Amino acid sequence: MPTRASDLVTLGLRIRHYRGERGLTLDQLGEKVGLAGSQLSLIENGRREPKLSILQDVATVLGVPIADLLNGEAPNRRAALEIELTRAQKNPLYGALGLPEVKVTKGMPVAALESLIGLHRELARRASEAIATPEEARRANTELRELMREQNNYMPDIEQLAEDRVRASGHVSGALTHREVSVMAEQLGFSLIYVNDLPNSTRSVTDLVNHRIYLPPASIPGGHGLRSMALQAMGHRLLGHERPASYAEFLWQRLQINYFAAACLMPPAASVAFLARAKSERELSVEDFRDAFGVTHEAAALRLTNLATSHLDMPLHFLRVTGDGALQKGYENDGLPLPVDVTGSIEGQFVCKQWSARSAFTHTNRTTEFYQYTDTPAGTFWSATQTGAADGGEFSISVGVPFVHAKWFRGRETVQRAVSRCPDESCCRRPASDLAAHWAGHAWPSARLHAHVLSPLPSGTFPGVDDTEVYEFLEAHAAP
Ligand SMILES: [Zn+2]
Q: How far is the CA of 90 from the centre of ligand 1 (A)?
A: 56
Mean pLDDT in residue range 265-287: 97
Q: Cα of 351 to ligand 1 centre, how many Å?
A: 7
Neighbouring CB atoms inside 10 A of 256's CB total: 20
Cβ burial, residue 288 (10 Å; 0-12/13-18/19+): middle
Query: In angstroms, what is the span from residue 350 Cα to ligand 1's centroid?
Result: 9
Beta carbons of 399 and 318 less than 8 angstroms apart = yes
423 C-alpha vs ligand 1 centroid, how far in Å?
7
**Residue 6 reports pLDDT greater than 90:** no
* pLDDT score for 270: 96
Mean pLDDT of 96-123: 89
In angstroms, how far is CA 44 from the centroid of its own chain?
A: 45
Residue 367 CA to ligand 1 center (angstroms) comes to: 26
Centroid of ligand 1 to alpha carbon of 425 (angstroms): 7
| Bond prior to 423 in cis (omega within 30° of 0) | yes
Is pLDDT at 72 greater than 50 in this prediction? Answer: yes
Helix (H) or strand (E) holding 77: helix 77-90
Residue, of 1 and 265, whose pLDDT is higher:
265
Does pLDDT of 331 surpass 70?
A: yes
CA of 355 to the centre of ligand 1 (A): 8
Distance 376 CA to ligand 1 centre (A): 9
The answer to whether the beta carbons of residues 282 and 401 sit under 8 Å apart is: no
Q: Which residues pair with 331 in a beta bridge?
A: 318
Q: Write down the pLDDT at residue 114.
A: 93
Q: Does pLDDT of 458 surpass 60?
A: no
The pLDDT, as a whole number, for residue 161 is: 97
pTM for the model:
0.70
State how far the Cα of 412 lies from the Cα of 406, in Å rounded to an integer: 6
Tell me, in angstroms, the distance from the centre of ligand 1 to residue 468's CA: 12
String of b and e for 196-212 (b: at least 16 CB within 10 Å)? eeeeeeeebebeeeeeb
Q: What is the CA(160)–ligand 1 centre distance, in A?
A: 41
In this prediction, residues 376-387 reach a mean pLDDT of 96
Distance 375 CA to ligand 1 centre (A): 11
Alpha-helical (H) ranges within 239-370 are 247-265, 268-280, 286-293, 297-312, 356-359
Ligand 1 centroid distance, CA of 456 (Å): 17
End-to-end CA distance of the chain: 93
Cα(422) to centroid of ligand 1, in Å?
4
* Contact indicator for 69, 58 with CB cutoff of 8 Å: yes
Q: Which of 289, 286, 246 is nearest to 387 (CA)?
A: 286
Report CA(398)–ligand 1 centroid distance (Å). Answer: 16
Q: How far is the CA of 420 from the centre of ligand 1 (A)?
A: 5
Of the given ranges (94-103, 198-207, 417-426), which has the lowest mean pLDDT? 198-207
**Per-residue model confidence (pLDDT) at position 461:** 66
Instruction: Flag whether pLDDT at 212 surpasses 60.
Output: yes
CA of 158 to the centre of ligand 1 (A): 37
Please state the length of the chain.
480
Neighbouring-strand partners of residue 322: 395
- Report how far ligand 1's centroid is from the alpha carbon of 98 (Å): 53
* pLDDT of residue 132 exceeding 80: no
Q: What spacing in Å lies between the alpha carbon of 428 and ligand 1's midpoint?
A: 4
- C-alpha 471 to ligand 1 mean position (Å): 17
Task: Give the mean pLDDT of 9-38.
Answer: 90
* Region of poorest pLDDT, from 13-17, 409-413, 471-475: 471-475
Among 55-64, 218-227, 278-287, 359-368, which range has the highest average pLDDT? 278-287
What is the percentage of the chain residues whose pLDDT exceeds 90? Answer: 50
Average pLDDT over residues 37-46: 89
303 CA to centre of ligand 1 in angstroms = 28
Least confident piece of the model among 71-85, 133-147, 292-306, 459-473: 459-473
Q: Quick check: 453 pLDDT over 50?
A: no
Taking the centre of ligand 1 as the mean of its atom positions, its distance from the CA of residue 396, in whole angstroms, is 17
Dist. CA 256 → ligand 1 center (Å): 34
Averaged pLDDT score across all residues of the chain: 87
Distance 318 CA to ligand 1 centre (A): 18
C-alpha 357 to ligand 1 mean position (Å): 12
What integer pLDDT is reported at residue 345 of this predicted model?
87
Q: Higher model confidence: residue 444 or residue 127? A: 444
Distance 430 CA to ligand 1 centre (A): 9
For residue 385, pLDDT beyond 90: yes
Band (pLDDT 50/70/90 cuts) for residue 219 is low
pLDDT tens-digit readout, 422-452: 888 889 888 888 888 888 888 888 776 654 4
Q: From ligand 1's centre to the CA of 465, what distance in Å? A: 17
- When computed from its CA atoms, the radius of gyration of the chain, rounded to whole angstroms, is 32
Between β-strands 393-402 and 417-419, what pairing exists: parallel, antiparallel or unpaired?
unpaired
Q: Identify the pLDDT of residue 129.
A: 60
**Residue 214 alpha carbon to ligand 1 centre in Å:** 46
Instruction: State mean pLDDT over 311-332.
Output: 95
- Three-state secondary-structure class, residue 35: coil
